[in-house]
A and B are shown apart, each in its own frame.
Chain A
Amino acid sequence: MKNTIYVGNTQQFNAFLLFYIVVAAQIGVGIHGFQRVLYEDAKQDAWISLVLSFVFAHIVVTVMMKTLDMFESNDLYGIHLDIFGKYFGTTLNCIYCLYPLFAFIAIVINYIEVINTWVFPYLSPNFLCLTILIITIYAFTGGLRIIVGLCFFSFFFILWIPPILIIPLKYSDWNFLLPILDNELKDIAKGVLSMTFTIIGFEIINVIYPFVKEKDKYKRYVHLGLLFTFLLYLAILLISLTFFSGGQLSKTIWATLTLFSIIRLPFIERVEIITICVWLIIILPNLCLFMWSAYRGIIRMKVISPVKFSVFFAIIIFIANILFYKRSTINIYDKYYGRVAFFIVFIYPFILFLLAWIKKKFRKIKTAGEHNNEN
């Protein structure tokens, strides 16, 4: 198959690390306040939307991996070139490269807003953006090995969340979940749509696929990763739904953080402040992965050193942060970004799979025809 990139053995990583990559890519800033958006659409049945969206995600991931398996050791950019030819393929690659850029911006502005609201009201967003970018560049220039390492370590910074959620569980009222399925199916479906912003991230396998060592068993780790995030989100959502009353929840922008703020340990109060700061290391692999996946696309078109690329990328982000940083714009941005992401992550893989399948069939017929002619 043409356009196959060569990946040396030293660059590859073991398949089980995909679990951590998927988890790290999925859990980002969305987790801070996805409950409100979901609740607005699906009310007390929000958790059904969540379950549905994850079922959907599993299907999408399966389709993605089917497509990738069709093309040996090739990422999405290579597949584009293969299916659509050089010119249209490159155009598509260009467009697809913008997606990680937007994702990056979304994460940065949302995180900065959380910090400004909860921890440092007067700290300049530009400064915060700059620090995040510097750290990201430092990690990114280390190469994929370091990025995967960060994914791995950030996983352990997530692990302490579930046990700490037991404390608000004491105050929760499970009657808030009743009546089940009282809402229209349309609303629940809408909930699935608005879940996009929180659930995406697993599409990184489109780009990271050639770097996985054991191609025969990587699938289970992707699914396991999805399952882990699913359980985490479900736990947080159920606790939020039962802890807050409906009216409260629709007025709470960052329900997870509010949940944390009632926790009182013997030596620490206001756990959410620590949580928000610790979140830096949780969004870091996220950012690096997005930067890296954009880089993979760019080097298909033009060979550029990672340092130059990351600085260039960082400048764009910095300007975007200045432009978009306002509560109203962030909301609008999230909304539109969510829609675009929904198309790219949840719809596009099916189209691509179909096209790849047709192309393959077509090619088979063609080669078969050639064989016949020869005979």
Chain B
Amino acid sequence: MFNKKKQDKEKNENKDQENKEQQQNEEKPKHEPISPDKNQFLLDVKQKLHSPSDFIVRFVSDNMTLVYVDNLVDNKMLNEIILTQLHEVEEIPEAIHLKLSIPEVDVVNELNKFIGDMLQGAAIVHVNGYDQVVVAKISAYQSRGLSAPENESQVIGSQVGFNENLSTNISLIRRYITNPNLCNEKFVLGKQTKTSLSVLYIHGIAIEEYINTVKQRITDLEIEDLIDSSVLAELIDDNSRSIFPQMLLTERPDRFCDGLLSGKIGIIVNGSSMGILCPYSFIEFFQSREDQNLRWPIASFIRLLRFFAILISIFLTPIYVASLTFHYEVIPQPLLVPLSESRAIVPFPPIIEALILELIIELLREAGAKLPTKVGQTIGIVGGIVIGTAAVEAGITSNILIIIVALGALSSFTTPNYMMGNVIRIIRFPIILLAGFWGYYGVMIAVCILFIHLLRLTTLGAPYMAPFYPPRFKQWPNSIIRFPITFIQRQAVNSRNKKNDSEQSGKKVSK
């Protein structure tokens, strides 16, 4: 019942909200009336806009003036509908409002408001003698077409990614989730950019507390500009100084919808091809949407492989450094021989050797990412092979270390999330340093600090290490391996159903 009412109201609410926000934004500049005189009106508008070169004025008839900003409006609509219909209509704003056959038309009597609309792609019709204008919203976005997500590619599954247009992205999501409970709340952020963004969640699945937290954090923000969603994610993070991301940035609509359906809250920012999902716990960063698409034993194997890869990526080089610097006795005799043979002509201590090689790999990676795609791969492969082989032959590194470092770099790319992959690559460096100075003890110091840090983190106030700590044993197996679909709990680790929770606590109280 409640839901239905809410949906009926939803549209109105959205509109109201927009109006409110716009009003709020324009409260600071004074309420300025529109001049009824044609010339004065044009002067006012030009003065407001600092007479830009793409401001276009068209005199439709003696009394009617049409103004718009070039390239922001849909030219076809302008020519075929507005201009033709304006010739046939009575020259009163109300009449024009009724006559124009385009989806969104408005009558406005305030200067700042229609200028805001005009900058978002509206054509303005001014009639001489009236202090009202007709705002015809015929905005045309120049946005690229939908393409495959490049940073989060997967073999099996949908091959469509978000693009930079807010409405396209929301329509993509609505195509996946045809559910009236899917709530969409609009916000506008940034004094300069006035970037619009949408907070999406499914009413009844997402936890009210988290929704309020997200909304609260967004409304509390006072920023000058917002260009990308990753900036927003960092601004509304619980611990923005931590190296670990606490919200997922994804360009995959299917992953986004999967998150919404499991009770998460999504944010989509206009102009950014990455959607934000929160709350996201540590372990979920290592689960891929593709796991659901594969058969469960295979998906489980791949997931385990991924966890193993993360461990390798973080700890293999430090352990090599620590073992060869301090703990020779830990390595068994048969393994020690090839190790020392390959290191025989290397003049550096293992820590320098490892740092050099790790830096080279990072350089190659960064260069590969920045180079134009056509050269990028070639340079990457050639550089890798040439530098690798040459480094060994020149005697500055050992063969085995090259294997280890390459393995570590490779493993770090198995993380399904780019942000998390970055973290894993970077935290290796301090651990290598610690290992080089204090051996296994140093590695252990790093492990302790890492554990404590992860335990201290929260995501929207929920524990980051869930379900491992606080322990929810029922969710453990499904977090580590993937169960057959019928056994999977739909709720995400931090989005347990509120009802169950309150019932449980009610029981406790009554006891």
Binding site for B on A (CB under 8 A): 9, 13-14, 17, 115, 119-120, 123, 128, 131, 135, 138-139, 142, 145-146, 149-150, 152-153, 213-214, 216, 264, 266-270, 273-274, 277-278, 280-281, 284
Contacts and interface: CB of A to CB of B under 8 A. Distances in A.
A264 B465 CA distance: 34
5 contacts: A150-B455, A153-B468, A153-B469, A270-B329, A277-B443
B506 interface: no
Central interface residue in B332, B452, B470, B471, by most chain A CB within 10 Å? B452
A17 B473 CA distance: 12
A269 B331 contact: yes
A142 B452 contact: yes
Interface of B: 326-327, 329-332, 335, 438-441, 443-445, 447-449, 451-452, 455-456, 465, 468-471, 505, 508, 511
B474 to A, nearest CB: 13
A270 B439 CA distance: 15
A121 to B, nearest CB: 11
Given A142-B456, A146-B456, A270-B329, 6 more contacts: A152-B471, A267-B335, A268-B330, A268-B332, A280-B445, A280-B448
Contacts of A146: 452, 455-456
B470 A14 contact: yes
Contacts of B331: 268-269
A151 to B, nearest CB: 10
Contacts of B469: 149, 152-153
Q: Is the interface of B mostly helix, strand, loop or mixed?
A: helix
B339 to A, nearest CB: 12
Contact of B441 (A138, A264, A280): A280
- When A and B form their complex, which 9 residue pairs have the shortest distance between CB atoms, in order from nearest? A277-B440, A149-B455, A149-B469, A280-B444, A277-B444, A142-B456, A139-B452, A146-B455, A270-B329
A277 B438 CA distance: 10
Q: Is the interface of A mostly helix, strand, loop or mixed?
A: helix
A120 B326 contact: yes
Given A142-B455, A266-B332, A273 B440 contact: yes
A230 B465 CA distance: 30
Nearest to B511: A216
Contacts of B470: 13-14, 17, 149
Contacts of B468: 153
Contacts, number: 85
Nearest to B330: A270
Contact of B445 (A17, A131, A213, A270): A131
A270 B330 CA distance: 5
B330 A150 contact: no
B229 to A, nearest CB: 30
A294 B266 CA distance: 44
A153 B454 CA distance: 12
A138 B508 contact: no
Central interface residue in B441, B449, B468, B505, by most chain A CB within 10 Å? B441
Central interface residue in B439, B469, B511, by most chain A CB within 10 Å? B469
A270 B332 CA distance: 9
A146 B451 CA distance: 9
B41 to A, nearest CB: 59
Nearest to A115: B441
Given A120-B438, A135-B448, A152-B471, A274 B330 contact: yes
A52 B439 CA distance: 40
A131 B447 CA distance: 13
Given A146-B455, A280-B448, A269 B330 contact: yes
A134 B57 CA distance: 69
B329 A269 contact: yes
Given A115-B441, A119-B439, A274-B440, A135 B332 contact: no
A119 B440 contact: yes
Central interface residue in B448, B456, B511, by most chain A CB within 10 Å? B448
A131 B443 CA distance: 12
